[in-house]
Amino acid sequence: MLGGMKMNKNVFFRQGELVFEKIESVDKHWKLKQRSDNVIREGEVSGHLHAVKGNGQLFDVVRDRGFSDVREGTMVLQAQQLVQVEHPEHKTLSLGKGSYVVTVQREYNEIRDSLVMD
């Protein structure tokens, strides 16, 4: 278990700077806010979108003062069936039915920790 989440044998998928971790269930302490679009991330350099196609819903994990184990920008993707994550510069990623925690890979330098740019 990680932060109260039941893990599914640490199954990870990746598309560019995005990491998708399959989970059995969402942490009951997390507050989820449904997104109005299907865009996971827009590239800072290219402007290209990582977007979900198919029957899936994206949720932002709302950071709460009491739960600092949630990284800023963490999302949950709930796929009711097979979904595709598309981006013009990456191979299309197919994800099966289930729940996934979506995070942006972090980049470390001596001065500060930052998100990887696409």
For residue 117, the model assigns a pLDDT of 54
Q: What is the tens place of the pLDDT at every residue in 63-88?
A: 766 656 778 889 999 999 999 999 99
Q: What is residue 28's predicted lDDT score, i.e. its pLDDT? A: 84
In a domain, 112, yes or no: no
Query: Is 113 part of any domain?
Result: no
6 band by pLDDT with thresholds 50, 70 and 90: low
Contact 3, 15 (CB under 8 A): no
**Burial (CB count <10 Å: 0-12, 13-18, 19+), residue 15:** buried
Domain containing 26 equals 7-105
Q: What is the pLDDT of residue 1?
A: 44
Is 19 inside any structural domain? yes
Q: How many structural domains comprise the chain?
A: 1
Confidence (pLDDT) at 99: 97
DSSP-derived letter for residue 71 is P
**14-36 confidence digits (pLDDT tens):** 998 899 999 999 888 888 999 99
Residue 76 domain-assigned (yes or no)? yes
Residue 3, pLDDT above cutoff 60: no
Residue 64 within a domain: yes
Mapped to the 3 state alphabet, what secondary structure does 11-58 carry?
Answer: EEEEECCEEEEEECCCCCCCEEEECCCCEEEECCCCCCEEEEEEEEEE
Instruction: Confirm whether 98 is domain-assigned.
Output: yes
Q: Is residue 110 part of a domain?
A: no
pTM: 0.78
Has residue 96 been placed in a domain? yes
Q: Which residue has the higher pLDDT, 67 or 107?
A: 107
**pLDDT band of 109, cuts 50, 70, 90:** low
